[in-house]
Structure 1
Amino acid sequence: MTDLPDSSAADVALRLENAVGAQERFQIMYSVLRDRICTLVYPPGTQLGEEALAEEFGVSRSPLRKALQILEADGLLQSQQGIGTLVTDVDLDALAQVYQLRLELNELTGRLSPATVDDALLQEFDAMNRRAAVLRAHPDRHEFARLNIDFFHVFQLLSENQPLRDHSEKLFYQTCRIWLTLIPEAALEREVKVFCGEIEEITTAVNSDDLEAAALIRRAHLSMGFKRLRKHRKVDAIA
């Protein structure tokens, strides 16, 4: 499974201290900052100061600046002259085409270089399914966001096509903040139930060694989820 970041300051500093080489240090900083943005630790509009982050991570500003530049290229940050580096806002309309492309890429996951369904892969999905059961019993916005990100990375394991995985990951992180920003509290329990049901359905398909079915289930839920997001936004605008 992908090594997902713990974004706490102490853990990040330790991981950076133990990193082997500049590339690994860059990847740690990039992943941690991206994770913080996408779980709204840094909500839209937050100004990220290079000096403060460099001090927190215990690094020079040069490698940190590289991570910030890549995040800007990903659409998660924006540099404004005289202001600094800001976390971008989430615009559902602007991301509509990204969602359309994600629909197609999710379907390809079941057909391009499909992974071998072995015990290790089954254990990853079973672990996600167990976490989903806990979340369903105790809906929580932060845990919903965390499980959404973690399940994405497990789902990525269904294909061994690296270009597909790379593109899917970039597009996922452009859109995943939408759920935290648009789901009203009154709809959280229902959205958690739907998402946990999706994980259960996909896990069943993987256990049946039917990766195409798993990919189609993911695609269908992504499509339905986008339509629900539009409804949530309309309700919020009226309120």
Structure 2
Amino acid sequence: MTEIANVASADVALQLDRASSAQERFRIMYEVLRDRICMLVYAPGTQLGEEALAAEFGVSRSPLRKVLQNLEADGLLLSQQGIGTLVTDIDVDELEQVYQLRMELNELTGRLAPASIDARLRALFEEMHKRSEALRGEPARESFARLNIDFFHAFQQLTENQPLKEVSERLFYQTCRIWLKMIPSMTLENEVDIFCREIEEICSAVALGDVLAAAMIRKAHLSMGFTRLRSHRQGP
């Protein structure tokens, strides 16, 4: 994940103008729109207009349409004839099998071509830990969601198996916005505390160079997180 998704619209247009290839321009637009969907900038049900987005990014509608088609293939958008392109809704029960697969893929992170823990990776996870402590001191929905996304991409660097990383990324983005959707009905401070403890435990494993331990911790927390989501969804 690049930092492109965090920049303002004017900066996105500038990034696209400076892109060296059509493939890079596609990646920029794809990541920006995916990020907006998963941060609920575009809430479920939002209609995305090709003309408005093309004008914002300073591109023609043809390459933008390809980006929207890929986001639809990812399950984040739905094109309906006579209506347009809509952001899809998210439901815990419908995502159960996705969560189950994500749990297994997390474990594989520690088994398939695990990365060698070097100074760069240790520094990256130490930065994640610092950010988690800042979030714990000042809980906020948007900061929680942002750290959730950024920590996922940090965790992805613990494996060098590219197919595993690609599948994991697609499934992550199918599920990650459910937290923002449901946190208003949950206890934000409690969820932040649980997430920060997960980051702390994983960072400790990374500091020791134990990728498998980090992967198993991630798997366990994902399982517990899904159980909490279902519990809140079903009510007392």
- 1:3 alignment partner AA: T
TM-score by length of 2: 0.98
Give % identity: 68
The CA distance in 1 between the partners of 2:101 and 2:181, in whole Å, is 21
Tell me, yes or no, if the aligned pair for 1:183 and 1:232 is still in contact at 8 Å.
no
- 1:197 alignment partner AA: R
Tell me, yes or no, if the aligned pair for 2:106 and 2:215 is still in contact at 8 Å.
yes
Q: Indicate yes or no: 2:78 matched with 1:83.
A: no
Aligned-residue CA RMSD in angstroms? 1.0
Question: Which aligned runs of 4 or more in structure 1 are off by greater than 6 angstroms?
Answer: none
- Flag structure 1 segments of 5+ consecutive residues without an equivalent: none
- 1:226 alignment partner AA: F
Residue in 1 that maps onto 2:195: 195
Residue in 2 that maps onto 1:179: 179
Residue in 2 that maps onto 1:160: 160
Equivalent residue runs for 1:99-178 within 5 Å? 99-178=99-178
Q: Indicate yes or no: 2:2 matched with 1:3.
A: yes
The CA distance in 1 between the partners of 2:56 and 2:233, in whole Å, is 36
Q: When the two structures are aligned, how many residues end up with a matched partner?
A: 235
Residue in 2 that maps onto 1:21: 21
2:93 counterpart SS class: coil
Residue in 2 that maps onto 1:98: 98
Change (3 A) 1:35 1:7: farther
- 2:111 alignment partner AA: R
The CA distance in 2 between the partners of 1:67 and 1:184, in whole Å, is 31
- Flag structure 2 segments of 5+ consecutive residues without an equivalent: none
Tell me, yes or no, if the aligned pair for 1:44 and 1:90 is still in contact at 8 Å.
yes
Tell me, yes or no, if the aligned pair for 2:48 and 2:86 is still in contact at 8 Å.
yes
Q: Indicate yes or no: 2:39 matched with 1:39.
A: yes
The CA distance in 2 between the partners of 1:35 and 1:135, in whole Å, is 20
* 1:66 CA drift (Å): 0.3
Q: Deviations over 1:66-120 (max 9, x none)?
A: 0000000000000011110000000111111000000000000011101110000
- 1:188 alignment partner AA: L
Residue in 1 that maps onto 2:73: 73
* 1:203 CA drift (Å): 0.2
* 1:186 CA drift (Å): 5.0
* 1:10 CA drift (Å): 1.4
Change (3 A) 1:186 1:79: closer
The CA distance in 1 between the partners of 2:31 and 2:92, in whole Å, is 23
TM-score by length of 1: 0.96
